[in-house]
């Protein structure tokens, strides 16, 4: 269903995020070195020490940095991303979406929507980088990159079919 992401003209954040689909944490005493390397690259090595720590904010920070944008302060806290970029009322392709959930928040990138859900490309979604559906009513904030020249044409509302399980608690 999300094959279009591989070949779509897309904002740089989506192009960078798509490269990481399939990255998974290792449950238990071992940890995925790729995820730990993201923390080291962001200067978070001393506070992000294992992939059992929620890493949706770490994933977004890594992608945003790779795409050439500034990372928000306290990027490991998902809801910190509610203050990044510019606020928008209509989420579109590539926007950063924050959600509230029991125990905290979640953050990921908008890749589309159906009538009731946003389709979100993010990290730490069932312990992996993938796309999941999250109910629109859970949206906390939508934020858009501060484009250096002009907003890319690919930044638009993307309508998708309502297929797949709806996530209730992203971990």
pLDDT tens string 43-77: 999 999 999 999 999 999 999 999 999 999 999 99
Give me 52's structure tokens: 């059992």
The predicted structure's pLDDT at residue 160: 92
- Give the whole-angstrom CA distance, residue 106 versus residue 170: 7
Contact 111, 119 (CB under 8 A): yes
Q: How far apart are CA 127 and CA 26, in angstroms?
A: 8
Per-residue pLDDT tens digits for 5-52:
988 788 999 999 999 999 999 999 999 999 999 999 999 999 999 999
Q: In whole angstroms, give the CA distance from residue 30 to residue 7.
A: 34
pTM confidence score: 0.95
Range of the domain at 118: 4-167
Structural domain count of the chain: 1
CB atoms within 10 A of CB 41: 13
What is the pLDDT confidence band of residue 134, given thresholds at 50, 70 and 90? very high
> What pLDDT score does 171 carry?
67
Q: Tell me, what's the pLDDT at 125?
A: 96
């Amino acid at each position: 269903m999300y094959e279009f992401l591989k070949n779509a003209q897309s904002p740089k954040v989506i192009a960078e995020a798509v490269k990481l689909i399939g990255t998974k944490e290792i449950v238990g005493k071992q940890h995925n070195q790729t995820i730990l390397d993201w923390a080291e690259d962001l200067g978070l090595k001393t506070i992000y020490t294992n992939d059992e720590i929620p890493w949706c904010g770490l994933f977004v920070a890594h992608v945003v940095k790779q795409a050439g944008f500034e990372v928000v302060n306290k990027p490991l806290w998902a809801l910190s991303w509610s203050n990044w970029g510019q606020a928008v009322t209509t989420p579109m392709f590539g926007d950063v979406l924050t959600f509230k959930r029991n125990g905290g928040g979640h953050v990921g990138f908008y890749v589309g929507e159906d009538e009731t859900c946003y389709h979100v490309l993010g990290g730490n979604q069932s312990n992996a980088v993938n796309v999941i559906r999250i109910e629109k009513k859970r949206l906390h904030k939508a934020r858009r990159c501060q484009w250096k020249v002009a907003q890319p044409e690919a930044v638009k509302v993307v309508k998708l079919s309502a297929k797949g399980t709806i996530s209730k608690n992203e971990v």
